[in-house]
Structure 1
Amino acid sequence: MSWRRSALPILAWGALLAAGALALDWVGYQRLVRAHASDLYLFVVAAAFLIVGLVVGMKVLAAKPRADFDGNPQAVASLGISAREREVLELLAAGHANKEIADRLGVSPHTVKTHVARLLEKLEAKRRTDAIARARALGILR
């Protein structure tokens, strides 16, 4: 308890000195504000616009929740695309080569070529990119 009694006057003097230093600094800050008022106002307005811009930008550019994707089963059925052909189409759209698709699906590259040829025929496309674009347009692919 004795250390608290001796520390009390030290804390009081410290608080008094801190208040004096704060008062002197306040006078300096008042001079600074008067001398550069337009600069400070400009800074405050710019900071406000920055904050508003960031908030609005985050809301506008926020990722929108995607609707559930069903792959347009009506189009798949009407074109007669099999489940395996759809898998091949998805892997084609992901940019995989025939060999990679064959390895992923556990089939030979010749089988993949056959699936691709049938897809081109069913989607009435001349190239793979045309088939992918047509499938996306029909809602078969995302």
Structure 2
Amino acid sequence: MSTDVSGMIECRPLARIWGKDDEDTIWHAAIDLSLLNTGNAYDALACLFGVRNSFGFQALAEGRGLPDDASDVLRAAFNAWGGPQHAHGTTWINWAELAAAHWDETDRSGTRSRSTVAGPGTHWGPVWDVMRTLAELHGPEHVRLVVWFD
């Protein structure tokens, strides 16, 4: 049985101006992952999110769940997809964490690097481009990718 990734990029556009604790600083859905990432490489899912990790990667963001402060649009998409009853591996990662990641780290065999399987030259490249652009505008800690799997 295959594993597919679904998700969305979110950002908090006013957090950089008002601070993350201001009542007007809420997460907004920016773009659905399906519009940017058309791949389904298991080694990428393993190194990023710990899903189907038979490769032995140290996952960047595994099992964090759906953020409590997820945007209404993201929450509606997650629930329309089937919610927690049908999703597994739900997690999120912000741009600050992605930018600080050790992209040369390899899997257990030492043959696949994080960059090789999920870096800019892979099907994840457009996702990272959008997140980087939003982070330049709103701050790296105010842009995140939220994903779930079937």
User: Given the two structures, how large is their TM-score scaled by the length of structure 1?
Assistant: 0.29
Larger strand fraction of residues = 2
User: Given the two structures, how large is their TM-score scaled by the length of structure 2?
Assistant: 0.28
Larger helix fraction of residues = 1
